[in-house]
Amino acid sequence: MTVFVITGASDGIGAEMARQLARTHGAQAALVLAARNQAKLEEVAQQCRAAGAKAEAVMTDVAQEAQCRALVDKAVQAFGRIDALVNNAGVSAQALLSDVRAQDLHWYEDLMRVNFWGAVWCTHAALPHLKESRGNIVAVSSLAGLVGVPGRTAYSATKFAMNGFFEALRAELKHAGVSVTLAYPGVVATQIRYRGYNARGEAAGSSGLKEEGAMSVEECSRRIIAGMVARKREVVMTAKGKLGRFMKLLAPGVVENIALAALKDEVKPH
Ligand SMILES: NC(=O)c1ccc[n+]([C@@H]2O[C@H](COP(=O)([O-])OP(=O)(O)OC[C@H]3O[C@@H](n4cnc5c(N)ncnc54)[C@H](OP(=O)(O)O)[C@@H]3O)[C@@H](O)[C@H]2O)c1
């Protein structure tokens, strides 16, 4: 049996990864699903069970270290091992720094607790089990973690932090048999930007990005799973993302212009 722990599994990419793993592995998969919304988590767990897999919904706020440790403990209690940890839970944000009032700036720290610290805490707790199984770690970063995106000073910072942490960890684990796959999705058709913070730290309710041409959540999840199974170092999605990364070294000004062009006019810096 292969035991997968997935954070942010109540919706979007995490939920779809769980469903796809349940379908492909059937009774050979045990899925431990973590997020805050228990009802939605349970719904995803049911979908996984209907596909023949074992599934446990574990209500978890990854912004709380104790809850991350409890998640790992529950996974081991339920299934006796952990083969893969998918650090996927994340929150988005869209605001120009100059539009954020001093009394609201604390949400930058909140975002870091979910996107970065949540992944650190879960990974630290799961590491002895992953070493034992010679398993896989996945970190769902973003193209906004490869290129600084205007309006995303907070979000880009959390994803750059993830990259540094997991790249260093990958080297530490080189001889331990544990793979570390960093996934860099571009724009994927989920609700993340609508739920993400605005300058006041409230749910934005709208997306600041042009959403046409977004990758489907199914395709994104399929690519991340393929990268994990193949123990790839990275999964960089979209040709623009791959090109942008190299162009940043050669012509950073051009990459800034491309990043600005991805914004809707109403959220562009003036
Ligand atoms: N969609 C994109 O275009 C895109 C692009 C690049 C990278 N990504 C990254 O992909 C990952 C998944 O995003 P998505 O698009 O699937 O977003 P989504 O549909 O909004 O799902 C986010 C998931 O994270 C969970 N979550 C949020 N805060 C949490 C917390 N404090 N504790 C535990 N779980 C929490 C949510 O569940 P609850 O609300 O129930 O807690 C939900 O299950 C994120 O890391 C995101 O940054 C997405």
Measured distance CA(170)–CA(157) in Å, rounded: 20
Identify the helix (H) or strand (E) that includes residue 183: strand 179-184
Identify the helix (H) or strand (E) that includes residue 57: strand 54-59
Measured distance CA(204)–CA(8) in Å, rounded: 19
Lookup result for tokens 């000004």: 253
Tokens of residue 256, six digits: 């800034």
Instruction: Tell me the longest C-alpha to C-alpha distance in the chain.
Output: 55
pLDDT at 188: 95
Tokens of residue 205, six digits: 């309710």
**37: helix, coil or strand?**
coil
- Ligand 1 centroid from CA 10, angstroms: 9
Q: What CATH number corresponds to the domain at position 103?
A: 3.40.50.720
pLDDT at 88: 98
pLDDT at 110: 97
Q: What is the pLDDT along the chain (270 residues), one digit of tens a residue?
A: 999 999 999 999 999 999 999 999 999 999 999 999 999 999 999 999 999 999 999 999 999 999 999 999 999 999 999 999 999 999 999 999 999 999 999 999 999 999 999 999 999 999 999 999 999 999 999 999 999 999 999 999 999 999 999 999 999 999 999 999 999 999 999 999 889 999 999 998 888 777 788 999 999 999 999 999 999 999 999 988 898 888 999 999 988 888 888 777 777 787
Please list the residues that pair with 179 across neighbouring strands. Answer: 136
Tokens of residue 23, six digits: 């379908």
| Test site for ligand 1: of 5, 6, 7, 13, most ligand atoms within 8 A of the Cβ | 13
Does the beta carbon of 192 sit less than 6 angstroms from any atom of ligand 1?
Answer: yes
With CA atoms as reference, report the closest residue to 183 among 215, 151, 149: 215
With CA atoms as reference, report the closest residue to 204 among 259, 121, 160, 266: 266
Measured distance CA(252)–CA(160) in Å, rounded: 17
pLDDT at 209: 74
Domain count, the chain: 1
DSSP 207-226: -SB--TTPBPHHHHHHHHHH
Please tell me the residue having the least CA distance from ligand 1 atom 34. Answer: 35
pLDDT at 207: 80
pLDDT at 264: 79
pLDDT at 267: 77
Does the beta carbon of 14 sit less than 6 angstroms from any atom of ligand 1?
Answer: yes
Say if residues 92 and 158 touch (Cβ distance below 8 Å). Answer: no
Range of the domain at 247: 2-267
With CA atoms as reference, report the closest residue to 159 among 190, 130, 192: 192
